[in-house]
Amino acid sequence: MMWVNIMVSRLLRTLFLGVLLTPFVCFWSQDQGIDRIFSLMVPPVAITMVIAILNAPFRSRFPRFALNGADLMVLYAMLATACAMSAEWMDMIPPQVYGFAAYQEQNGHFKTRVLPYVSEWLFFTDPEPLKDFRDGGKTFAVFWAALPMWLPKIAVWTTLLGLLTTAMLCINALLREQWIHQEKLAFPIVQLPLALADDSATAVWRDKLFWICFAITFGVDMLNGISFLYPSVPRINIRFIADMNSWFSSPPWNQTGWTPIGLFPFVSALGVFMPTDLLFSLLFFFFVRKGQQIIAYSIGNEQGVFGGGGLVPSPPYFSEQSWGAFLGLFLSFMWLGRSQWKRVWQAIGNGKNPEGDHGDLSYRFAFYLLIASILGLGAFGMVIGLPFFWVIFYVVLFLIFSVAVTRLRAQLGAPTHEMAFMGPHQMILDFNGSSTIPNSIIARTLTTFHFMNRIHRTHPMPTLLEGMYLADRTRLSQRFMFMALWIAAILGFFLGFIVHVYLGYRWTPVTWISGEVGGVINSVIGQPRPPNLSAIGAVAAGFAVVWILDFVRFRVPGFWLHPAGYALAMNFGIDYYWFGLLIVLIAKVFIQRYYGLKGYGRLRVAAYGLIFGEFAAELIWALFSMLNDRQITYSISFNGKMSWDQ
């Protein structure tokens, strides 16, 4: 009994510590947005790394008061969830909440095609209360005095996102056994946080090679950071060395878009943890995409940085191909796990998990809570003027996409999953067109659910599943982890929104998102369109590619092309770091061929050192920027504070 009480008190202490650190991770996420555009976000890893260092002396001298491995993983999972919730969705939602009202004079269609339809529960419609916010440059006291005006809308949005996040948690609870224990997916992204929790004699941080690689990347990033502030200091440039597209001056060969050559050490090192066949597939289909751009131009379709259109489809319909691939992957996952789904359905009926209790969340509870969450989202839609079943269909379509993204990250572990402008909006317009949808439905749907249709780099559902995986690896109660993740998600969104509002008063608020959404609404309403048969064909083609690859893969042992690589490579994101992954692929194949598992183990140790070294440097430069009123500093990230080619 005493042991149980001690364990409960430890878990509650860790939960309290996670809640205590959530405001800081939310502030970091909003103030230094480029640090959380990766699958492995910098803020939660860096903070957990600092806590692990501070905790080390207690482990040896005062073990009763120290955090153990499970505690650290709960802390990391909470911080990662809060960071994800206060990241990209926070970039999408608040700018609309204030943007349509605050900038209606600058955007005439805000007055005519947006504001007449949006709900005052969610959006401001009167610009007058937003004058101080719109102007920026205000003190904390001004923000604090105005905060009560924002809290009702923040609370309503938190309710909406809370329902959606609860649905994601429940789906993960239903899928967890199949993906973690039956298929034994690799979960490459969370191998680094797990290394922080390892206190054994073979822990990577006890290895000299780890510290050599740590010192190399840390030293390079510190030198480059000083050089960025003081240009007279020489730097070591490896970020962007050249652009392959500039090597070709005449069409169609110059239509491949931006194809940089460069290295981001921590991103490249993440490739070490990716399965080799998936790594090869990702690179192979990246070049297939570039080839499609050349072909598309050859038949009369101009290509830009990224061809295939954005929210307005155009050849070669990359986003539509991606949608077809994700739908194919979703159905493939469901088919492969059909025996497990039968057991899950039986457990929902009899209330007993086939694997036993062991602190697991009941399948029956997860299923009923999932249904309640989806129905709650439908009811929410009705309150703001949307049809109940329209919202249900929209949300279910997004959740299908989310499951595929979650599975892809758990299996592939790609450094990013950037899928620009993919979402239910795109599929509905492609298959149904817009001419039969009332203007009010278009405006309310696109404003309320735009966050489901953007880039998905910090989609929270994969992070939530990784938290459950960490609980499984550290033999922690899934019920406790479910509660910790849910609390972190709610707090992350709520506090992230407040931080966003504060930064708006302190500096200049973000404006382009409201203009982007307003422009899409104006385009869709002003130019009604029928179903797009070419786009539908591209969806079907993407679906077919996935099933053909699966058909071959299951019949040809060692076949190197994996459909997950196709699904991810057909959209923008890998363009930043493809060259680094190519170097890693060559190194992995060579080392595994000639040095076997022992050589690969040394390569993993080196990768750990490279990644932690860069994250340690980024922690310093991010803190420097935050403490010096957002002074522009060097970053290990792709873009943002620095231009794309710096």
- Asked if the structure places residue 1 within a domain, the reply is no
Residue with tokens 């501070």: 54
In terms of residue numbers, what domain contains 461? 78-627
Query: How many angstroms separate the CA atoms of 86 and 61, rounded?
Result: 37
Contacts (Cβ under 8 Å, ≥6 apart) of 393: none
- Block residue for tokens 């659910």: 449
User: Is 43 among the domain residues?
Assistant: no
Q: Helix, strand, or coil here: 313?
A: strand
Within a domain: 608: yes
- State the pLDDT at residue 2: 42
DSSP helix/strand/coil, 490: helix
* CA trace torsion 128, 134, 140, 145 (10° rounding): 10
**Angle formed by the axes of helices 2-31 and 478-506, to 10°?**
30
Which regions in the chain score pLDDT beneath 50? Answer: 1-5
Length of the chain counted residue by residue: 646
Residue 331 falls inside a structural domain: yes
Left, alpha or beta for 559 (phi > 0: left; psi -120 to 50: alpha)? beta
Pairing outcome for strands 242-243 and 260-261: antiparallel
Q: d(Cα 406, Cα 268) in Å, to the nearest integer?
A: 21
Q: How far is CA 89 from CA 136, 376, 452, 500, 503, in A?
A: 22, 20, 8, 11, 16
Name residues whose C-beta falls within 8 Å of residue 19's C-beta, 6 or more positions apart in sequence: 78, 487, 491
Asked if residue 56 belongs to a domain, the reply is no
Q: Where do the H-state alpha helices sit in 230-275?
A: 265-270
Q: Whose CA is closest to 564, among 259, 177, 284? A: 284
User: Which runs of consecutive H residues, i.e. helices, occur in 384-412?
Assistant: 388-412
Confidence at residue 18, expressed as pLDDT on a 0 to 100 scale: 93
| Total tally of structural domains belonging to the chain | 1
Task: Report if residue 143 sits inside a domain.
Answer: yes
What is the distance between the alpha carbons of residues 492 and 496, in angstroms, rounded to a whole number?
6
Domain membership of residue 179 (yes or no) is: yes
Question: Alpha carbon of 106 to those of 102, 109, 127, 292, 507: distances in Å?
Answer: 9, 9, 12, 39, 20
The three-class DSSP label of residue 309 is strand
The answer to the question of residue 5 being in a domain is no
